[in-house]
Structure 1
Amino acid sequence: MLSVGLTGGIGAGKSEVSRLLDKLGAVIVDADRIAREVVEPGTPGHAAVVAEFGDEVLLPDGHLDRPALGRIVFGDPQRLAALNAIVHPLVGARSAELQEAAPEDAVIVHDVPLLVENGLAPLYDAVVVVDAADETRLERLVRTRGMSEDEARSRMAAQADRAQRLAVADFVIDNNGPLAELEAQVHDVWRRLLDRRTD
C-alpha cells in the first residue's frame, strides 16, 4: 500500500488530476467530499456547526448554506479555526476508515486541498502537488466558477502560496497547459507511484 497526498491551490486543477488518477486505478479519498458528508443533516458535525455559527448558515431544507458559511469564515481566522476544529477531526477519522478498508496493494490518493496549510505532508508516503501560475488560477476561478476577481483573490490568499506547496512536493504536475499535457504528466506520475509502491 502507498499513501499519497494530493494537493494544489484553488483553481490549479487538482480535481481533474484526482479524476484521472481514479481512472488509472487509485483509491481516492476526497477530503472535500468527506467534509460535506460529515456535516450532513442529522450528523454530529452538522449539529456542532449549527451550534457554533447559528441558524443563518442553514438552507430551508436543513443543509448547510456553504456559501453563507464561507462568507463568515474566509477572512476571519478565528471563525475559520472554529470551523476547522469541528470538521477536521471528523474528516481525519473517516479518511482513516477508508484507508483501512482499501486493498493491501492499493495506491491511496488523499485529495486534500489544505494539506500544506494543516502541516499534513509527513502523514503520506509521497506528496503530489498540482501547480499552476496564480494568473492562470485566477482566470479559471472567474471563468469557470463565476467568482468575482476580488473573491477569487481572497480565496487564493487564504491558502498557502505556490512556494510553500512546492516545498513539500515529491512530484509536481504542471497544469498551465492543455488537458493532453496534463494527462501525460498524470500517467507519468502514476507509473512512478506504482514503482515506489513496489520498492
Structure 2
Amino acid sequence: MSHYIIGLTGGVASGKSEVQRRFEALGVAVADADAAARAAVEPGSEGLADVVAAFGAGVLDASGALDRAAMRRRVFADDAARRALEAIVHPRVRATLHAQCAAAAGPYAIAAIPLLAEGGGREAYPWLARILVVDVPEQVQMARLRQRDGIDQPLAERMLAAQATRAQRLAIADDVIVNNGTLDALDAHVAALDALYRRLAAG
C-alpha cells in the first residue's frame, strides 16, 4: 500500500512520458490519467453514456466507441464543450488514480496527471504529497509538439492555449525537472528525485 503519492504533470510535449518511464524502470508504480480517462469512456461505460447524453450520438464512431479525434477538435474549439467533457471525465479519473496509487506496492506511487493544473491542482487532488512538474521552454514545447503530432503552427498554438500556462504549472510545483536537454540528462534527475521520495515516504 502506497500512502505517499506524487503527482507528475507538465505541458503537452514536455517529456512527461519519458520521465514516467524512468520512474517505472526504478520499480515505481505509476497510475496514468490518460489511461484512466480512456477507461472512463470505454464502450458500455457510464462515462460514455454521459458523454452521449451531453453531446449527442454524433460523438461516436461506427463501432460505437468515442470518436476521439472528432471530440478533440470539438473541445479545442469550444470552451463550454471542453468544460462539460471534463465534468464527466475528471471525477472518474481522480477516483481511479487514487485507488490505483493506494493499492500499489512500494514506498510511494506516482499519479501521472497531464491536466493537473487545469483540473483543480491541489484542491482537486488533496491526497498528493508532492507535485513534480516537467518544465520546458515554450518554444521548445511548440517545436516538439509540431514534430510529434505532424500539425501546423495554428493548431499547436490552440493546443497550448487550451492548457494551463507554464507559470500556472510551476506555481503548484514542489519539484521541477527542466527537460530542455538530452534524454540521458533525465536519468540523473529522476534518480535524485526517486531517492528523495523514498526518504520522505519512509519518514
> Which residue identity lines up with residue 159 of structure 2 in the other structure?
R
SS at match of 2:9: strand
1:19 partnered with 2:21: yes
Match of 1:99 in 2: 101
Asked if structure 1 preserves the Cα contact closer than 8 Å seen for 2:133 and 2:177, the reply is yes
Give 1:1-199 correspondences, 5 Å limit. Answer: 1-103=3-105, 105-121=106-122, 123=126, 124-199=128-203
Aligned mates of 2:66, 2:8 — CA distance in 1: 26
Unpaired stretches in structure 1, ≥5 consecutive residues: none
Q: Which moved more, 1:92-101 or 1:32-41?
A: 92-101
TM-score calculated relative to the size of structure 1: 0.94
Superposed CA deviations along residues 84-116 of structure 1, whole A, max 9, x for unmatched, are: 11111111222222133223x431101001111
Asked if structure 1 preserves the Cα contact closer than 8 Å seen for 2:16 and 2:134, the reply is yes
Asked if structure 2 preserves the Cα contact closer than 8 Å seen for 1:128 and 1:173, the reply is yes
User: 1:121 Cα shift?
Assistant: 2.6
TM-score calculated relative to the size of structure 2: 0.93
User: 1:190 Cα shift?
Assistant: 1.2
Asked if structure 1 preserves the Cα contact closer than 8 Å seen for 2:146 and 2:156, the reply is yes
Aligned mates of 1:52, 1:112 — CA distance in 2: 24
User: How many residues are matched?
Assistant: 198
Sequence identity of aligned pairs in percent? 42
User: 1:120 Cα shift?
Assistant: 2.4
- Coordinate RMSD, CA, aligned: 1.3
Q: Which moved more, 1:75-84 or 1:119-128?
A: 119-128
Aligned mates of 1:194, 1:100 — CA distance in 2: 16
> Which residue identity lines up with residue 139 of structure 1 in the other structure?
A
User: 1:55 Cα shift?
Assistant: 2.2
Aligned mates of 2:11, 2:50 — CA distance in 1: 28
SS at match of 1:165: helix
Unpaired stretches in structure 2, ≥5 consecutive residues: none
User: 1:65 Cα shift?
Assistant: 1.0
